[in-house]
Amino acid sequence: MLNLETAIINPLFEISEVSVGEHFYWEIAGYEVHGQVLLTSWFVLGSVILFGLIANRDLKPLPEGLQNFSELVTEFIRDLAKTQVGEEEYLKWVPFIGTIFIFVLVSNWSGALLPWRLIELPNGELAAPTNDINTTVALALLTSISYFYAGLRKKGLGYFKRYVSPAVFLLPINVLEDFSKPLSLSFRLFGNILADELVVGVLVALVPLIIPIPVMLLGVFTSAIQALVFATLAGAYIGESVEDHH
């Protein structure tokens, strides 16, 4: 039994230690964490909070300036949630879907627009939070927990009937689907952002003046698309879990 547990657990530890690039480690409560991810995540969160405070500090009946932009983003997120989750449940999920969308969007844009690698660390290098697999996996797991919670909250234990619908023999496939969702969410976002930053980094090193600019602009566009895809899929999964099947 001990040999079997060792054979299973040791490969899992080896997979968890796989990393891309150099990292700046902090030790917290005996655990090593990627310090550069925390630093850039705090920067992104601080930027979003600061913008929200400035844009909404003096609300006017007829919005203008930053308030107008803030309300435009809010309406976009509300429409996205309404389309994916459904009219009955969407208002409850606007904060979650909006938080996911804004955090991923600003994180992606920080990697596309800010020269993180010019900031020197004792070891490792700075990059967008979504450039790290730990961040994207955490966001994907939060999404999985959310749609499980949504389904159980509305349907109770009857939610698990979906695993044997429309036929019992589909149980393994339906279970496998729930494992594949967070994997596809996390690796799609991580892979696209990592590839974009690597391409820009190589071009800046080889041709530091003109060529990287259109690539960076393309990176801004693709970063926005990745944030939209992530938020849309999160809303779709939640909508699927609360959908009434007849």
Peptide bond into 166 cis (omega under 30): yes
Mean pLDDT, the chain, as a whole number? 82
Instruction: Enumerate the domain spans of the chain.
Output: 26-242
91-104 pLDDT, tens per residue? 999 999 999 999 99
Helix axes 212-242, 90-113, angle to 10 degrees: 160
Q: Which amino acid is at 235?
A: G
Residue 110: C-alpha distances to residues 160, 215, 234 (Å): 40, 15, 22
* Residue 40 or residue 168, greater confidence: 40
199-231 pLDDT, tens per residue? 766 766 666 666 667 777 777 888 899 999 999
* Residue 236 or residue 178, greater confidence: 236
- Where would I find the beta strands (DSSP E) of 102-235? none
Q: Vertex 93, ends 128 and 238: CA angle to 5°?
A: 85
DSSP string spanning 60-89? Answer: -SS--THHHHHHHHHHHHHHHHHHHH-TTT
25-28 and 31-34 strand pairing: antiparallel
| C-beta neighbour count of 27 within 10 angstroms | 9
pLDDT at 103: 95
What is the spatial distance between Cα 184 and Cα 105, in angstroms, rounded to a whole number?
18
Bridge partners, residue 135, by sequence: none
> Which residue has 């509300």 as its token pair?
78
179 burial (CB, 10 Å; 0-12 / 13-18 / 19+) is exposed
Q: What tokens does 185 get?
A: 């969410």
pLDDT band at 8 (very low <50, low <70, confident <90, very high): very low
pLDDT band at 73 (very low <50, low <70, confident <90, very high): very high
pLDDT at 237: 93
Lowest mean per-residue pLDDT among 96-105, 162-171, 173-182: 162-171
pLDDT at 164: 78
* Residue 38 or residue 216, greater confidence: 38
